Amino acid sequence: MERFRADGFDEFVAARWSALLHVARLLTGGDRQRAEDLVQEALVKLWFAWPKVAEQAPEAYVRQVLVRMAARSARRRWWGERPVGELPDRPGPGDVSAVVAERSRLEAALALLPPRQRAAVVLRYCEDLPESQVAQALGCPVGTARSHASRGVARLRQILSDSVRPVG
């Protein structure tokens, strides 16, 4: 039974780990530790469902689990201390710092969105999934998923434009 269950699972995890971590990081508003926890928990759930979903759509299953777990964890009020990998005062290398700064700005803006809007935007525009798969992952009709994505993008534009305005 164990050998049957493991067929293809290790390869799937090795091939998709970084992509799943990227999605989870965007869903958690840039919190790498929470994202890693989400991916690990989602993969545990996938392990138990592997015989059923291995031949069909394991990535869609994991994405759906990630979205649900991210939404559930976003409802928690306090996450305790948030350790960071590097001190914020460290200067970065030349051109890369602008890219990192822009990515950080986008992650911070994503973190301000409600969980379902954030999930819809991440799945639709970062993962480039069709609306039907976004709706399936969110567990809602296509029109609702489209509405979440549209409102999320509009809110992102507002947040990002507000953060660029000169003070004065």
Instruction: Give the model confidence (pLDDT) of 103-162 as tens digits.
Output: 888 888 999 999 999 999 999 988 888 999 999 999 999 999 999 999 999 999 999 888
Sign, Cα dihedral of 13, 16, 21, 23: negative
Residue 21 maps to a domain:
yes
Residues 6+ apart with CB under 8 A from 36: 21, 24
CATH number of the domain where residue 54 is located: 1.20.140.160
pLDDT in tens, 44-66: 999 999 988 888 889 899 999 99
* DSSP code, position 93: P
Residue 8 maps to a domain:
yes
* DSSP code, position 19: H
Residues 6+ apart with CB under 8 A from 28: 34, 35, 38, 70, 73, 74, 111
Residue 4 vs residue 38, higher pLDDT: 38
What's the pTM? 0.59
Residue 102: pLDDT band by 50, 70, 90 thresholds?
confident
Residue 87 maps to a domain:
no
Task: Count how many domains the chain has.
Answer: 1
Residue 31 maps to a domain:
yes
Residue 30 has pLDDT above 90, yes or no: no
Residue 89 maps to a domain:
no
Residue 76: pLDDT band by 50, 70, 90 thresholds?
low
Residue 143 maps to a domain:
yes
Residues 6+ apart with CB under 8 A from 137: 60, 63, 64, 67, 119, 123, 129
Residue 86 maps to a domain:
no
Q: Is 99 helix (H, G, I), strand (E, B) or coil?
A: helix
Residue 46 belongs to what domain range?
1-81+95-163
Q: Which secondary-structure segment (H or E) carries 6?
A: helix 2-6
Cα Rg of the chain (Å, integer): 18
27-31, 33-37, 62-66, 149-153: least confident range: 27-31
CA distance 72 to 34: 12
Residue 123 maps to a domain:
yes
